[in-house]
Structure 1
Amino acid sequence: MKAIIVCTSVSHGNTKKIADAIGDVLQARVVDPGQFDATELAAYDLVGFGSGIYLGSFHSQLRAFVDTLPAQPQRKAFVFATSGFPESRIHRFSGPMVDSLEQKGFEVVGGFSARAFDTFLPFKLVGGLRKGRPNDSDLESARSFAEHLRNAVGTAS
């Protein structure tokens, strides 16, 4: 199975840490959407899409990248995010990204979220919240998620 991870990580490097942990297990290259040619996706069996969460949504750069993708019929994908807060039942921040990917023809086979250092106002005024996150436990959870993906998708390919 050949995998790649498209990741936007801008504030504190939180999402890149998670992407690297997942990428190590999947032996996947981690790329920024602004530095990757979407036509190359055809070479991959599994594509990960991840970013921090900003005002309840994936980063605008990643959303714009997905919007410009050509159809990807039957290509498998997963999503991941870092956020100061978990998804709520009322507003699932991964939902719109999953919907966008499915509209492009991807089969979304998994999702992962980790808590992360957050300095969005008003939290910046008190030095932020979730200091030290993602931590070793979060990175281990990301690796476990990737192992599950590798086992599930690798045997189906």
Structure 2
Amino acid sequence: MKTAVCYYSRHHGNTLKVLQAMADAGEIDLIDVTKPKTASLADYGCVGFASGIYGFEFQKAVVEFARRQLPQGKPVFFVYTYGGAKGTGAKAMAEIAAQKNCPVLGEFSCKGFDTFGPFKLVGGIAKGHPDEQDLSNARRFYRDVQNKLENEVQT
């Protein structure tokens, strides 16, 4: 089943590293929400949304993209990286999914190297993340998402 992941990844590229690991486990079209491009999410069997955590939540461009582009009833999953704390994680994304009657297949998060704001003064936090264990966990998560989708199709 064809999957798109709409993402925002800057600073150290932590989120993109995780998504590239997931793409190793199955075909994923990556859609950078900051690039002007018409993306028809209706053509996909499943849609993921991914971001680093900024101010304790998903980056606003991803939230707005989901609000505008996510079709009704489309299965979704969420991926995020964070330096210090998860914050509210994918809460805003889960609310959008609920409003659009989209089943949530899961949520994956892991630490990511962070030098934003005061963390720069101490050389950053979560150094070395995402590490190989994080990436392995990301691949496993995406395989689980694929299995859930296959089971939905069979029932």
Normalized against structure 1, the TM-score is what?
0.90
AA partner of residue 83 (structure 1): Y
User: How much has 1:24 moved relative to structure 2?
Assistant: 2.3
AA partner of residue 48 (structure 2): G
Partner of 2:72: 73
Gaps of 5+ in 1: none
Counting aligned pairs with the same residue, the percent is 36
Distance in 1 between residues matched to 2:13 and 2:32, nearest whole Å: 12
User: How much has 1:152 moved relative to structure 2?
Assistant: 1.1
AA partner of residue 65 (structure 2): F
User: How much has 1:94 moved relative to structure 2?
Assistant: 1.4
Aligned length in residues: 152
1:34-74 Cα offsets, whole Å, 9 max, x none, are 33424x1111111010000001011111112112226x222
Partner of 1:37: 38
Task: Say if 2:78 and 2:108, in contact at 8 Å, map to a contact too.
Answer: yes
Q: Does residue 96 of structure 1 match 2:95? A: no
Task: Say if 2:6 and 2:32, in contact at 8 Å, map to a contact too.
Answer: yes
Structure 1 residue matching 2:126: 3-state secondary structure: coil
Normalized against structure 2, the TM-score is what?
0.91
Distance in 2 between residues matched to 1:108 and 1:21, nearest whole Å: 21
AA partner of residue 55 (structure 1): G
Q: Does residue 118 of structure 1 match 2:114? A: yes
RMSD: 1.5
Distance in 2 between residues matched to 1:108 and 1:118, nearest whole Å: 28
Partner of 1:61: 61
1:107-139 Cα offsets, whole Å, 9 max, x none, are 111100010001122111011011111010000
Distance in 2 between residues matched to 1:10 and 1:60, nearest whole Å: 13
Structure 2 residue matching 1:122: 3-state secondary structure: helix
Structure 1 runs of 4+ off > 3 angstroms?
none
Q: Which moved more, 1:43-52 or 1:59-68?
A: 59-68
